[in-house]
Structure 1
Amino acid sequence: MSEPARTFHWADYLVFASILVISGIIGCVAGRGQDSAEDFTLAGRGMGLLPVALSIVGSLAAVYVLGIPAEMYLDGVQQWHIFILPLFVAVFVTALLFVPLFYPLKIASIYEYLELRYKSKVPKITSTLLFILALIMNMGVSLFTPSTALESVTGFPTWASILACSGIAIFYTTTGGLKAVIWTDAFQALFTMAGLLAVAIQGTIAVGGFAEVFEISDRGGRLNFFVMDPDPSTRVTFWGCFIGGIFGWLGYYGINQPTYQRYASLPNQRKAKLSVFLNIPGIALLMTVTCYCGLVIYAYYDKKGCDPVMNGELANPNQIAPYFVMEVLNYPGIPGLFVATLFSGTLSTCAASLAGISSVVWEDLLKWKYGHISNTKQVWVNRGLVLIFGILGTGFAVLVTFLEGTVLQFAFSFTGAITGPVLGMYLLGAIFPCATGIGASVGAFVALGVLIWINVGQYSLNTNLSFKPTRIDMCPVANITTNMTELLTTTQMMTTQNITTPMMEPEYNPLEKWYGLSYLWYPMLGTAVTMVVGLLFSCVAGVQRTENVEPRYMMPVANICCCCLPKSTQDCLQCGMDHDEEAMDADVLDEKRVSTISGGDYVNGGMDNMGMEMDKTKL
């Protein structure tokens, strides 16, 4: 039987182009009337609940729509845990602790909190630079995701797709700011779900029904929900997904500038919390459907008896989903719909990253010196920042094309190496009033160094890149012969992980075991190292006096988590901090609007008041 032609029909190009044009139009129309930097970066704090919630969900689609099916195809459904179970924990922690901590401050950049809490610019600048690096990496991975998909189905060069996609994202972000990003994200989130459902339904029919999909997946070892191996070097386990996933999600929901900008654009704290809670059904549905799509794709090619990755028809496993769409859903317009789904997620992620970077760079690095310029000029400065960092993200996307492994692993590895230390800086300051800014910064740099060391070592040794076997017995003989060496190598790598002989013990290298640490543990390791080193350094260099730290900059962790314990025990756990319930009330705090930092001064009981007292003393 002849293979279907894997090329775009004119209807595919029409659907694909229409979605991108509609996204651009929505962005331009929704983003009109940008009169100030606050309008550009926070949408005037007047957005609606539903578009904000959809926007937060949609910004995750770029990497996951392509990366999750590839992971399910190669390694099974055990990573479903990282998307569902830890999500519940992270969302509740964010809504109960992080939103009440950040929202009442009314700051444009979430990193301003670090300066307010530590009374030092060092931790703010440290986290800002790490954040910029993380988002540039995130943009690069997101741009690479649909570009490699488009190449696999049309032959259109990856680099050209990267340039086109980044150009569109830069265009409507510079034109409309955060409001344009949110409304476009909301449209793209709904559209992405429609495309995924089309793949899941038609793919199930092609395989032979739900029962057939799960039977084949079970036979191939893909229904591995609970791998309870405690070894942290095992690539994916339940513990790595659950524990590491909590810290990864906290990095996204708790201390991520694009996420903060979205819920900070809502008019009150109650809606901000609700927008975070609404992500539970949205993310759960998105991740469950994408995981199922991966199982459908595996079942189809297992039943066919020819894995296109091992057969050499695909350059890398990240192309498996669009390849499947072109083969099974090769009806005019459907492949274009799916590729447009990928590009929609990428546009959402890139636009959110660019809006976040422009806001952070302006508020944290430039405003103290150029804050006196007119509102119009401030908007144009932010637009210029979007353009500059858009170009940097595009350059990193080209670099990603030369790396091995699935796009999901790369995204977790390098962004996790940065997310962990930054999360540690926030938790250290919000939980321990004795922590200092220098201590937090030193801890973050030590953690970053450790994680970069592991990352570089892992990629240099090519560890953790072996996956479960796939069938190639029905592939053309020529292709099997060409790729047999790669197959044998992969099989050998997988076999040696499960066989232990005394003869191999003298060759054991503990450094390779260290490099083999699963990427799922990176966020937790980075957070832990930052907090431990930060506390130790703070104690050695001189702790910060508790009375110098305002309660509104601290998390009432003991009040929430240990509410049944005696008041004296709670006070001890909170290092003597008095979290006044009225002061922590959402409605009261919303009324006490705190102005943002300007020229390095602190507000409402901070350094401004201290300066006034000093002046009075001199008088």
Structure 2
Amino acid sequence: MASQSDSIKFSTTDFIFLALMLGGSMAIGIFIAVRGNKKKTKEEYLLGGRHMTAIPVCLSLFATFQSAISLLGVPTEVYTYGTMMVYSQLGLILSYLIVLVTVIPLMYPLGLTSVYEYLSLRYRSRSLQVLGAAMGVSANLAYMTVALLSPALALETAVGIPLWMSICLVGSIGTVYTTLGGIKSVIWTDVFQSAIIFAGIFTVLVKGTMDVGGADKVWQIGADSGRLQFDEVSLDPRVRHTVWNQSFGSVFYWLAIHFSQSSVQRVMSTRAIGEANKVYIFTIPLVGVYGVTMCATGLVILAYFFSIGCDPLAAGFIQNKNQVVPYFVLHALRFLPGLPGLYISTIFSGALSTLSSGINSLSANTVEDFLAGPLRGRSESAVTTITKLLVCFFGLLIIGLAYLAKEFQGPITQITYTLISASSGPALGLFLLSGLFPQANSPGALVGLLAGSVVSVWQATGSFLFGYRAPTLPQGPTHLCLTDNSTAYNTTTPGYDFTSGSADLYMSPWSPNFTTPYSYLNTTTASTLGLGEREFSFYDLSYTLNPVLGTVMTVLIGLTVSLLTRPFLTDVHSPEANLLFPFCRHFWYSDRDVLNAEMKSIRQDIEE
């Protein structure tokens, strides 16, 4: 048996799996690009001609947002802090149901290309469209930067390829096929990558569970190590993870993503509103199974390292907790060449899907929101060419940003959540303000968005610099890890030092009691330790509440300013009923106005 400290490298078979995934993604993207080369219109490039069906778009939506960040971050989160984050799946599923009565019935009948065109229609304000788009672009850039960095860290751990080379490899492949094929290449490569993702995660879950000794053993170790926790119901907003902030906060987080360009662009690519509804309905079981599987994977990894008596992070074999997953894969799956390559391919698939979707949506925002005026009157071929060049530009930009972000050491899920929430929370607030209240006007919306953004970014930045750092659960044992002067490993005499001839075990400072090998942690809630001794601080709020904060501030301030400024505006107009969410139209408008709005939407749908 090889030591945990031994350097495990990819085999030829592993490289073949990785090459097949990367080559397959590139081949699919190029094939779609060549096949659709006859239609060089902007709508075909950005929206697939609005003829896509539900299943491929569903898989594309899934692959885009269940990315390498979650493949690496969720198991690591469970490994480090426990299972409370499983409650985020409740909020995630609820957000998909809310989409069916908000995003789809509002956006789809309008026939938009950019989601921020809605703001221009709603307020007759170009500045709001541009500002909203700038917020969305910021959130998208942050998300893709971390998504591209994640697999680069994994590959650096797995095969020793320099970080910059890994980032360039993934970034360039995603950029090339997205530039050539547009949204259709993105969607169909996402379908392929979704299959890779599920194959990889179930392989790791099953094999890891077998190695530990079964699901019962995994559960036992999780409980005894303090990771198995589902009962944190504290109302203290500073507690990192509770039932309430995980469930409630994730609703806002995911609703903001559903109102993003990447999501709405997929909705608009479907051939009918019924297909758009099916996209989200079909995605619910996918994300539910995926989320639970990722949490279970974290428990399996924990049980594996605890059962072999060697936590790689505590032993110093890895330096960054975000490398726990690839390290586990390289050791647990090394019995069969090719399996480590399969899982690393899974991580790459998640990154590629996120990158390709993101840079495609960024180009759509740039063309529709920032360059609509300068490009007006130009030929379709010229506009499409400019759009492709923008895709290439954003791909290169993300590669550069990912390399600059290489020093991130914190929990990758928290980093991503906070970066996105700081900008997407206020953006969600703007859409909710606009779709719920016809009283909202452009001055109110503008002030609300700016105020919500300032507060959200202020809190997010302050939490990084001055906020309370929730203690992680104690690291695992290292008593069966080999020290530097070990020259052999005897599986019948664990930890035997062949150099000195002694049979001392290499104990960690808090070595377990071997009569009850996993019962060495108390069950005190780690996330609440020390909070009672601190004065309340705005910066100590749980990161899960940041999108709630930004959203609520934007809506409240925006509505207040709108009501206060309304008497002083000379050009006061109420939006048409079709620019509000359907479920609140009858509350604000007469039945006749609502019917006219619905008939207008139906006629537009038939024409398209």
- State TM-score, norm by structure 1: 0.87
Which residue does the alignment assign to 2:96? 91
C-alpha offsets along residues 483-533 of structure 1, whole Å, 9 cap, x if unaligned?
A: 989xxxxx9x997953588xx6xxx554xx211111111111110000111
Which residue does the alignment assign to 1:528? 552
1:584 matched to 2:594? The reply is no
1:291 matched to 2:295? The reply is yes
Structure 1: how far apart are the matches of 2:42 and 2:251?
A: 34
Decide whether aligned partners of structure 1 residues 101 and 579 sit closer, same or farther in structure 2, where only a CA change above 3 A counts. farther
Which residue does the alignment assign to 1:564? none
Q: 2:295 is paired with a residue of what secondary structure?
A: helix
Decide whether aligned partners of structure 1 residues 94 and 118 sit closer, same or farther in structure 2, where only a CA change above 3 A counts. same
Give yes or no for contact 2:109–2:601 (8 Å, CA) kept in 1. no
Q: 2:25 aligns with which of 23, 26, 30?
A: 23
User: How far off is 1:380 after superposition?
Assistant: 1.0
Which residue does the alignment assign to 1:556? 582
User: How far off is 1:575 after superposition?
Assistant: 7.2
Within a 5 Å distance, the mapping from 1:57-96 to structure 2 comes to 57-60=62-65, 61-82=67-88, 84-96=89-101
C-alpha offsets along residues 99-157 of structure 1, whole Å, 9 cap, x if unaligned?
A: 01000111110100001001111211111001111111111001011110111111111
Which residue does the alignment assign to 2:498? none
Structure 2: how far apart are the matches of 1:100 and 1:66?
A: 35
Which residue does the alignment assign to 2:141? 136
1:443 matched to 2:445? The reply is no
Within a 5 Å distance, the mapping from 1:413-452 to structure 2 comes to 413-452=418-457
Decide whether aligned partners of structure 1 residues 166 and 465 sit closer, same or farther in structure 2, where only a CA change above 3 A counts. farther
Structure 2: how far apart are the matches of 1:456 and 1:499?
A: 22
Counterpart AA for 1:274: K
User: How far off is 1:310 after superposition?
Assistant: 2.2
- Larger CA deviation: 574-583 vs 366-375: 574-583
Decide whether aligned partners of structure 1 residues 582 and 189 sit closer, same or farther in structure 2, where only a CA change above 3 A counts. farther
Give yes or no for contact 1:91–1:276 (8 Å, CA) kept in 2. yes
C-alpha offsets along residues 560-591 of structure 1, whole Å, 9 cap, x if unaligned?
A: xxxxxxxxxx63xx377966257437972553
Structure 2: how far apart are the matches of 1:430 and 1:522?
A: 22
Which residue does the alignment assign to 1:538? 562
Structure 1: how far apart are the matches of 2:600 and 2:231?
A: 40
Q: 2:541 aligns with which of 498, 507, 517?
A: 517
Q: 2:312 is paired with a residue of what secondary structure?
A: coil
Give yes or no for contact 1:546–1:577 (8 Å, CA) kept in 2. no
Which residue does the alignment assign to 2:529? 498
1:397 matched to 2:402? The reply is yes
Give yes or no for contact 1:551–1:578 (8 Å, CA) kept in 2. no
Give yes or no for contact 1:106–1:593 (8 Å, CA) kept in 2. no
1:12 matched to 2:17? The reply is no
Which residue does the alignment assign to 1:319? 323
User: How far off is 1:285 after superposition?
Assistant: 1.4
Within a 5 Å distance, the mapping from 1:565-576 to structure 2 comes to 571=587, 574=588
Structure 1: how far apart are the matches of 2:469 and 2:54?
A: 41
C-alpha offsets along residues 64-122 of structure 1, whole Å, 9 cap, x if unaligned?
A: 1111111111111111111x211232111111221010001111101000010011112
1:249 matched to 2:251? The reply is no
Decide whether aligned partners of structure 1 residues 378 and 392 sit closer, same or farther in structure 2, where only a CA change above 3 A counts. same
CA RMSD of aligned residues (A): 2.6
Structure 2: how far apart are the matches of 1:163 and 1:130?
A: 26
Give yes or no for contact 2:478–2:507 (8 Å, CA) kept in 1. no
Q: 1:181 aligns with which of 170, 174, 186?
A: 186
Percent identical across equivalent pairs? 31
User: How far off is 1:28 after superposition?
Assistant: 1.1
Structure 1: how far apart are the matches of 2:507 and 2:445?
A: 53
Structure 2: how far apart are the matches of 1:586 and 1:276?
A: 24
Structure 1: gaps spanning 5 or more residues: 486-490, 560-569, 595-619
Structure 1: how far apart are the matches of 2:312 and 2:392?
A: 38
Decide whether aligned partners of structure 1 residues 29 and 210 sit closer, same or farther in structure 2, where only a CA change above 3 A counts. same
Counterpart AA for 1:85: L
- Larger CA deviation: 462-471 vs 103-112: 462-471
Give yes or no for contact 1:268–1:590 (8 Å, CA) kept in 2. no
User: How far off is 1:165 after superposition?
Assistant: 0.8
Decide whether aligned partners of structure 1 residues 462 and 542 sit closer, same or farther in structure 2, where only a CA change above 3 A counts. closer
Structure 2: how far apart are the matches of 1:368 and 1:251?
A: 28
Decide whether aligned partners of structure 1 residues 390 and 483 sit closer, same or farther in structure 2, where only a CA change above 3 A counts. farther
Structure 2: how far apart are the matches of 1:110 and 1:49?
A: 20
C-alpha offsets along residues 325-367 of structure 1, whole Å, 9 cap, x if unaligned?
A: 1111012111111111111110100000001010111011112
Counterpart AA for 1:298: L
C-alpha offsets along residues 445-489 of structure 1, whole Å, 9 cap, x if unaligned?
A: 21211122222222223633521112234154868999989xxxx
Which residue does the alignment assign to 1:597? none
Structure 2: how far apart are the matches of 1:500 and 1:65?
A: 30
Give yes or no for contact 2:479–2:506 (8 Å, CA) kept in 1. no
Give yes or no for contact 1:302–1:470 (8 Å, CA) kept in 2. no
- State TM-score, norm by structure 2: 0.88
Structure 2: gaps spanning 5 or more residues: 485-504, 511-521
User: How far off is 1:539 after superposition?
Assistant: 2.1
1:269 matched to 2:293? The reply is no
Counterpart AA for 2:26: G
Give yes or no for contact 1:312–1:483 (8 Å, CA) kept in 2. no
User: How far off is 1:274 after superposition?
Assistant: 0.9
User: How far off is 1:243 after superposition?
Assistant: 0.6
Give yes or no for contact 1:52–1:262 (8 Å, CA) kept in 2. yes
Which residue does the alignment assign to 1:567? none
Counterpart AA for 1:303: S
Within a 5 Å distance, the mapping from 1:109-258 to structure 2 comes to 109-253=114-258, 255-258=259-262
Structure 1: how far apart are the matches of 2:53 and 2:83?
A: 35
Structure 2: how far apart are the matches of 1:177 and 1:406?
A: 33
Which residue does the alignment assign to 2:492? none
- Larger CA deviation: 114-123 vs 461-470: 461-470
Counterpart AA for 2:70: Y
User: How far off is 1:306 after superposition?
Assistant: 2.3
User: How far off is 1:224 after superposition?
Assistant: 1.1
User: How far off is 1:163 after superposition?
Assistant: 1.2
Decide whether aligned partners of structure 1 residues 494 and 285 sit closer, same or farther in structure 2, where only a CA change above 3 A counts. closer
Counterpart AA for 1:498: L
Counterpart AA for 1:412: Y
Structure 2: how far apart are the matches of 1:365 and 1:500?
A: 46
User: How far off is 1:557 after superposition?
Assistant: 3.1
C-alpha offsets along residues 528-567 of structure 1, whole Å, 9 cap, x if unaligned?
A: 00011111221232268885310000113347xxxxxxxx
Structure 1: how far apart are the matches of 2:293 and 2:358?
A: 25
Q: 1:178 is paired with a residue of what secondary structure?
A: helix
Give yes or no for contact 1:425–1:531 (8 Å, CA) kept in 2. yes
Q: 1:580 is paired with a residue of what secondary structure?
A: helix
Q: 1:278 is paired with a residue of what secondary structure?
A: helix
